[in-house]
Every structure is written in C-alpha cells, then in structure tokens.
Structure 1
C-alpha cells in the first residue's frame, strides 16, 4: 500500500535572513574627515565623499498549489536577488537562481491512513465488490457481489491495528468470508437480476435488486428491495421484499432510521423502445420493520404542459429521444440530510440534483448544476490519450458537465451542504447515443478550439456530448461539452456551488504517478483515460475524526482515493492521496477474461466506500471500507492521528 508523504527541501536559513535584513536599506553617508591635529604646519583633514545609495535585496515568495511537480502537496518557492533597477520589484532577470529555495508542505501528519485488512474474492471484472456497508454489533461488512445476485458477508472482528505496508498490500488476503445472502433464493421471486446496493441501519439490512420485465428486457421491470434482520451472533434472517421502481440503483436509510429511500434509475433498454420513468421510492420503517408497500415519488409534474414544467431549468439535460421529463430523469444516488428531513438525489445523466421533502413525499426542487469551465487556469485538463505526456492545459470554450454519481450530505453552521463526486456519464445505447469525440463536432469558425479539435494530441479525441452545446440553434457548436468535472464539489441545498477541487486530481496524480495518471482500471497502460473522463471520481464517503470532517473520494479509473478536510466548506484543504495499486504489474481484464498478473495488481476501481467511527470499529480506531469493482477486492484502511 503506497501512501505518499510530503517532501521538504533544505533551506539556507542564514542566507535568507541575511538578505531579508538587507532588504530596503540604503548605503550610509560617508563621514567627514577628521581635522588634523594642530602642530607645526598641520593641515585640516579633508571632508570624506558621500556614500552612494546601496542596492536593495528583495525576497519573493510564491505559493505552490497541490499537484505541483516538485511539491505534490503544495508549498512555497522563495526567490532572492538584488533590485538593480531600483523599482522595488524582484524582476525575473534579477533573481539569483543559485539561492532559489523550494519548501514543500510537510504531509498533514495528524491523519495517518494505513491498510489493515483486505479480502480478495479472486473474481475480476465481474463487479464482485461494489457497494459496502457495515453492521457494528456483528463486526461484519456487507459487500455487494453484483452480477452474482448476492451480498457477501466479511468478518472484520479479527482485524488488528497492525498495518500492512508496501508491496505486501497488493496481495493481502487476511479477511474471511463468513457467508453470502442469496437474494434470488431468499425471495423466491422470478426475473431478478444483479444486486445494486446495500444499506444497514441498526439491525436492519436492505438490498436493491433489479428485475427484468415480462418481455425479457433485463432491467426495465420494477425492481425490489429485500430486507433482512441482523444480529450479533447469528446469520441474517430474511424478512420480506418490497416492490419499487425500475432499476433500483441505490438504497439508503435516513439517519434516524425512519425510512428507506431508493433511487430508481429507470434506464431505457438497448434499442430505446422501452424507457421507464425514474423515481424515488420511500419505504416507511415502523417499529423497526419495513412497510409492505413503497411510495413512489416521480417527476411527471415536470413534464411539458404539466403543472410544474415552468420550474425546470433549461440547463437540465433532457436528451432521450421522445422521452418525457419523467422518463429522462434518472436518479442515481441519494444523500439524506442529517436531520432526516430532506433527500438529495443525484440525477447523473441530467446534470442535476433533486431535493425531496421526505415527510411530505414530494419533490421540492430540481437544481441544475451547470458546467465547469475548462478554459480557466484552475480547471485545466489533459484531454488526449495520444500525446505521450502529462499535458494539462486550459481550453477556452470547453466545458464539463459535473454529472455526479455518489453524493453525501453534512451540516456546517446549521446549514445543509451536499458533497458530490463528479464522475460524468453519457447516454450510449444501440438505439440512441449522444457520445462522440470533439473532432466530430461542427464548430462555429470563431470558436477558439476550431483548429485544436483536429489534433489528436489536443482535443480531437475528447469524449463529448452531441446533444447540447449549440446555444443559438444554428447547427454550429458554441460550447464543447465533455462528461464529468474530474473533481469533487460542495453545493448548497439550493444548488449553489461553494467549492470545487478544480484540476487537483490530475495535478496530484500526475505529479506522483507520472504517466500512470489517468490510467484505466483494467490494465496498466498509462494516460489511457485522459480523452474520456480522466481519473473519474465516483466513490465517496465522509467521516468525522476529532474536530475535523474529511471527505474520501475514490478514483474509479486511476484507483486509490483522495482525502480532503471539508470541516469548513468555504476553506477546504487537500490532505493526502492513497492507493494500493501496482502500476508495474502486467495484466489485462476484459469482463471475466484475465491475462497476466491481475493477482499482483492490487485494488482496482473503487466503487463504494463506508466510514466506520472508532466506537463501532473492531480495532478501536476509525476505519474506511472500500469495495473495488474491477479487482473484486474489499480493502479496509485504519485512520489515526500521528
């Protein structure tokens, strides 16, 4: 397991202090000559000449942002020199390069992240470890083994505080699988497909399962949620199932345990002939048991001509062929406010977040998230997988739709904030696809990227949408719109962005990994996803340690996770990047087909995360559990202050 500490370059303190003391001081005037002593033929001494003004020594300090090639975690560059032209500025020509010093920020040592546990399923490329949750009383992790239709039970009770370091982490397998929940067998229902999500509240577990329709469309039937009773000493007991909407993709209990919420994505079938409506199911939990029927909260009131159509922003992507708004909106993930009053629902393909009043069971509002300007210096990207280099640039007229996958909610100053992992996603089906490359677009001749979209080393290969971007409907693209923000963001409940990590993820991974940044998760090819969605942040969890709130953001393609201190959403700071991946392993994963050293590659494709507070942890220290979809591994990290 590789954890990157920060470097510290040597600083000539004495030289720096000396030059600082000299700064701005003029030369002293010459003293008058001393009169000669009277005596025979003595003569008076002559006056000394005035001294010339001295040259000022100046110091220039430049802040280095996280991701700097020399200081991956940021720092300062200190330049000194003489102000030879007396303009009180240290010009480039005046800098004494031999005295330039760089001080890299020391790693935020108060937070230590160490690998202490790992389960290796030996199932690669088949989603054997996706969404994870944890039951404190039995010290069991529940891991979605999606394509199998099962949930794996992993025993964390034997974990210790002893970390596993370095290459040993790549093949670590010290967690035992206790059992599995077979949802097909337990429910006895026909046409069930993959398990998509799991959530635990107290001694109640809920798992979402997709279902085929009567015509054989694999995910277009109404799915179910299966409920189990958990205990500290025995295996889970199946309770019941509740019908929900089409393609239930995420389940989550409210913090107070009073309801279970389900994001029903409602994706179309391959030829786009069947397109179910997206919805959110609310299942009441009464006396610690689920109700028999769910309430579906839909979006038909926002359809053209319906009562709330005027509330829908034009910036919300409604692009499916012939689709109503209710059909086109696709709930992906749900975060619930800490007071259990509101559900925040990511509508990934639509680039929006819906707000639902849980008690009223109604949609309060739908927030359009807008576009990220990749023309700004803070938002620069590497847009090509054919440039054979790290090439982060700003591109005027190019934008990214945030399109978050996982979202979470927390409070600061009695106000709800939403944290989003801005993965991006396209509608790409046999019957309809909006996915293209920038070179396929017809731009206005005045567009600043008119030439660069024909260059494979610049923008030509960038994956973009062909559905939007022609703002004046003249047949020419005015804005090149890519997928995802390559970042994480913090939003208010009203949809105002208060923070975005900009180009941090690519800056930091390129500084630390070199050409292995923006790698894919099914082979070590290096810089192979720059033309798509870069590191592709997807998984997300937050946790409270001491007085600080941390966000953990999993990078689906590059693998590993970023850590940020988000205690104050208006003063966010980068903390660390941690990964357990061997970028030298020679392997290729194509579905269930494996070539090479996949068992040596480490953890690939973080899909789900769960933070465990110290009081619920088997080791007595906070833990972070991560399900890695491509490697089929579940990793457990220990968090402590050192």
Structure 2
C-alpha cells in the first residue's frame, strides 16, 4: 500500500463550493449547509473474507437490515452470504445455490431485504433468469425469465423495478453450431419479489439502421450479426429520478439510452476515441521499450504520446447530478472479441501493419513506429468497425485503434465527454512499493500490461459525502482503488489511492465495488466493499474522512 501524491493534471477544488451546485446522487435529505464535505479521505483496510480460490469473490451487495453481504462466487456459481455486523471480521453464514435456474450467478443487487440475482443459463446462449430471495432467511421469493447472459443487475432508485443488462455473447461465429443471441435490457417490476413481471428493451428497431450507426461510430462488426445480435449491454446507471437508464455497450463502444417506463431503447450514442498523441493523454505502449528502434528491447516505464486512438469500451458506469444535470462516469476498461472460435479481432501493430504505416498519416517516423520498442507490441483491433481494417489500398495502416482508454471519463446526459483522466492512472501506479508498474493481477512482471490496456480501470461507484461527490475507481490489473472528488465534473481531484496487493499475494483483481454509506454501515463509517476475482478475497475498506 502506498499513498500517492496528486498527479499534475488535477487541481484542488476550493472548499467554498456552493451546495446549490450539487444535487444528491442517491436520494435522501439535503446536506446541512455547514457540511462542505471532507477536505481529505483515506482508505483503510479493516477486514476481509478469504474465498480461497480464483473467482470466489466478484460482485457484492449489502443489506442494511440483516447486516449481510452477498458475494457472487464465480468459482462455485453461487452466492456467499457473509455476516458483516462486525466489518473487521466478516464470517460466512450461508450460500445461495442457483442450480435449479442455470449455470452461474453473474451479478447481485439488494433493496430493503430483497436480493436479486442475475443468473446465466446453461448453455449461456439460452435465456437467463432473475431470481429474488429474502435477505434474512435466503428463501426463494420468485423468478422471471430474461434475455441471454444477464450480466449487471440493479434496482431503480425507488426499488420498484430491477434492470438487467443481457449481454447476449455468441458461442462462436460462422460455425455449424454457432449461436449469437440478441443483446437486450430487461425491465422487471419487482412486486415484492413474489410475483415479478418482465418487459424487454431490445434493439430490433435498430436492425435497419446498421449503416447509420456505423457511420456515427457505433462498432457493429460481428461476422454475420444483426444490430440486435451485435450489441452487448454490460452495465447500467440511471438519471436523477430513475426514468432513464444509461447502458454501456462495451464491445460496441457506445451507450444505449433506455426509457424505463416503456422498456424502450430510445437512442444509441457512440463514444468516439481518445487521441493518445495529445499532451497529458499518453500511454506506455510496450513491454520492450528499453531500447531505441529495436525488436529486442527490455521492459521500461515509458509513458509517452503516440499516434494511437484509444477506444473507450467502458465496463462499469455510475451517475450523479450537478445543478439538476445528469453526468455519468465510465471506467474505460476496453474489451476485445477474442474469446470465441471463428473470429478474433485482437492483433499487434507490427503484425497487423506488415505493409507499414501510411507516411501521409504517420509522417517521416512511420517506419520507426513499427519497432517493438515503440508501437510494434501494442495490441489493437484489426476490425475497428463494420469489417473495415484501417488500411489504405496498398495495405498500409492509416489508423491504429487500441482497446480501452486507460482512464475514467465523465460524460453529460447527451453523451458528450466533459472530462478524461488522461494518462494519470498509469502515472499514479508508476512507482508502487508493492507491485511493479503495469503488472497484471496474476503476475508481478514489470510492463506486463503495457501493450494491452495498462492498469485497466473496470469498476466505478459514487457516493455523497457532505457537499461532495466522490468516485471510487477499481484498477483490475495492477490493483487498488483510486478516490476522486468529482463534484466539479470538469475538474476532478485525486484524494487517495490504496493498493492492498503484495507482489503475487494480497488482494488482486478488483472486480466489483460496492459502497455502504455511513448511515447504513454496521460501524457507522462509510465502507467500500471490493470483490477481488483473482485472489478470491472480499475486502472491507473503511473510508476515513478528514474535515
């Protein structure tokens, strides 16, 4: 663990920020005028539960009434139930098995004693299930069928409905047994969990608009896939009153906007790309950059600007309100379609651009950029959109698109970017005492992840602390959680960073983040629960505030 200084691109906000600027992001009464929020916060690990194996801790949710924490155990396909009445010493008190419904639990959400589970079918291409359980006695209340591969699940702010992002991944492309289900968002009326009813927000109305969407920048590129099949919903956030849902379409580099009342997708917005050639937007692009124009270099910490376009491809999304306007934050993890037979978009620059880079685009340094010590090792997509390969008629590359932006971004309600953290997450993790720079979660190798998505921000949750809104960003690969004051969406401030890993030990692979506000916490302090997929550990972090 190491507390880092503020990166140079962040400034400290004045404490005299007016309360009228910021509306509550999670409901509840107005903040007292004298509570301007903490001048500083520090994350402190106070407890944890060791699942003991890879995948034993993923997504978590807390029920304040029973003081129970529900942890998706991906290794067993179940949910572990932990007693969190003493946050310093969580203990396992039960298990929810979903074998009667499908293969595994993908996500969990809780609202006032009702536990909702997103359950994947076996095979995953079949329709999934959302099942509701009692938090106190783990009794099954009811269930409802949803789309294929339900991933993230979330209650609306009033608790009356539950939404699931049904990812609908294919099992393969172009093979005799290939199945590519449609992506969708299920909107479920809870009815106490005992009689849930479901509606489906699908993408079929956009099937005839494929060319229009591609031209706008929405990535639709799965071989033989319709728009509805190609779009893969990942994560969900709401506007201030819960009437609209913003859904990340990760592989498609876009956001879907859903009218919750009618269960209708009203729009699909492309996210565009990040220009890594601009000041403050650099990246470490190679694990062999310890040399000059060579294909046999050594690992070196080298964050620099390159003519590369980073596709945001966000995983988690969270929203808040400022001055009556909705903003949302994305964790720009990046993801490639490389997991199924029949299609793999992932390649490296030197391999993909075997005929060279177009000098009209990349300038006089085009030939040198292909060396592994520069861009040659960087993982990029061979299919930026709709079957295109980013090459000219002679086979020279005209644009390089990498996976993920190695950052978090803030967007307004029109899906216009108002902030990006640039290269700061890589700089923040560049001199850790407990892990090498850009090491992965399953190794401690210097520069391991530099050619591919860097620290890989995946999770984000938001919380209200007095007049301030704080964002907690989980870095999946090198690990740890960064805390930012995002009260001013255009000028976030880094407040803390905690990384509890220890080389190849400790808590590794933060997957899901869950914030327990002080008012609902068992010990009266705000807590951040982190499910670590690789180490299989569930970590309890206390958020200490300094005023």
TM range (shorter): 0.7 to 0.9
Corresponding residue to 1:564 among 484, 488, 491:
484
Q: Distance in 2 between matches of 1:301 and 1:456?
A: 45
Contact 1:384 1:459 in 2 (8 A): yes
Indicate if the aligned counterparts of 1:259 and 1:282 stay in contact, CA closer than 8 A.
yes
1:109-154, Cα deviation, whole Å (9 max, x unpaired): 621221111111111x2x1100111000111111100231210111
Match of 1:81 in 2: none
Of 546, 571, 585, the match for 2:466: 546
Equivalent-residue separation in structure 2 for 1:65 and 1:511 (angstroms):
15
Q: Which of 297, 313, 318 is equivalent to 2:201?
A: 297
* 1:219 counterpart = 2:124: yes
Q: How does the TM-score come out when normalised to structure 1? A: 0.75
Alpha-carbon offset, residue 277 of structure 1: 0.5
After TM superposition, give the deviation of residue 561 of structure 1 in Å.
1.0
CA deviation digits over 1:32-71, x for unaligned, max 9? xxxxxxxxxxxxxxxxxxxxxxxxxxxxxxxx7169xxxx
Confirm or deny: 8 A CA contact 1:283 1:291 kept in the other structure. Answer: no
Indicate the SS of the match to 2:488: coil
Cα drift, residue 550 of structure 1: 0.6
1:471 Cα offset (Å)? 5.8
Do 2:164 and 2:187's aligned partners in 1 also have CA atoms closer than 8 Å? yes
- List per-residue Cα deviations over 1:219-238 (Å, max 9, x = no partner): 1111111110223xxx2211
1:605 aligns with 2:515: no
Q: 1:115 aligns with which of 45, 49, 52?
A: 45
After superposition, residues 17-416 of structure 1 pair within 5 angstroms as 65=8, 110-123=40-53, 125=54, 127-159=55-87, 174-184=89-99, 188-189=100-101, 192-212=102-122, 218-231=123-136, 235-272=137-174, 273-286=178-191, 288-289=192-193, 291-304=195-208, 310=212, 313-387=215-289, 388-396=299-307, 398-416=308-326
Report the CA distance shift for 1:473/1:280 in structure 2 as closer, same or farther (over 3 A): farther
Tell me, in whole angstroms, the C-alpha distance in 1 between the residues paired with 2:162 and 2:2: 37
- What is the Cα deviation at residue 293 of structure 1? 3.6
Residue aligning to 2:456: 536
Equivalent residues of 2:435, 2:502 under 8 A apart: no
Distance 2:284 2:167 in 1: 31
How far off is 1:530 after superposition?
0.3
2:43–2:497 Cα contact (<8 Å) kept:
no
Matched, 1:628 2:532: yes
**Deviation (angstroms), 1:419:** 0.7
- Per-residue CA distance 1:240-259 (angstroms, 9 max, x = gap): 22110011111101011111
Q: What secondary structure is seen at the aligned counterpart in 1 of 2:269?
A: strand
CA–CA distance in 1 between the matches of 2:434 and 2:396?
37
- Report the Cα offset of residue 450 of structure 1: 2.6
State how far apart, in whole Å, the 1-side matches of 2:434 and 2:402 are: 24
Is the CA contact 1:416–1:492 (under 8 Å) kept in the aligned structure 2?
yes
State the secondary structure of the residue aligned to 1:376.
coil
Q: Which has the higher contact order (CA 8 A, sep 6+)?
A: 2
Partner of 1:456: 372
Instruction: Tell me the SS of whatever aligns to 2:343.
Output: coil
Q: TM (normalized to structure 2)?
A: 0.87
Partner of 1:4: 3
1:445 aligns with 2:356: no
Tell me the residue number matched to 2:518.
Answer: 614
The SS at the match of 1:439 is helix
- Bigger radius of gyration: 1
Question: Could you tell me whether the CA contact under 8 Å between 2:483 and 2:495 is conserved in 1?
Answer: yes
| Conserved 8 A contact 2:407-2:457 | yes
Unmatched tracts of structure 1, length 5 or more: 8-63, 68-72, 75-107, 161-173, 213-217, 586-600
Q: Secondary structure at the match of 1:552?
A: strand
Once the two structures are TM-superposed, the CA of residue 337 in structure 1 deviates from its matched residue by: 2.0
- Inter-CA distance 304–529: structure 2 relative to 1 (3 Å threshold): same
Distance 1:549 1:370, change over 3 A: same
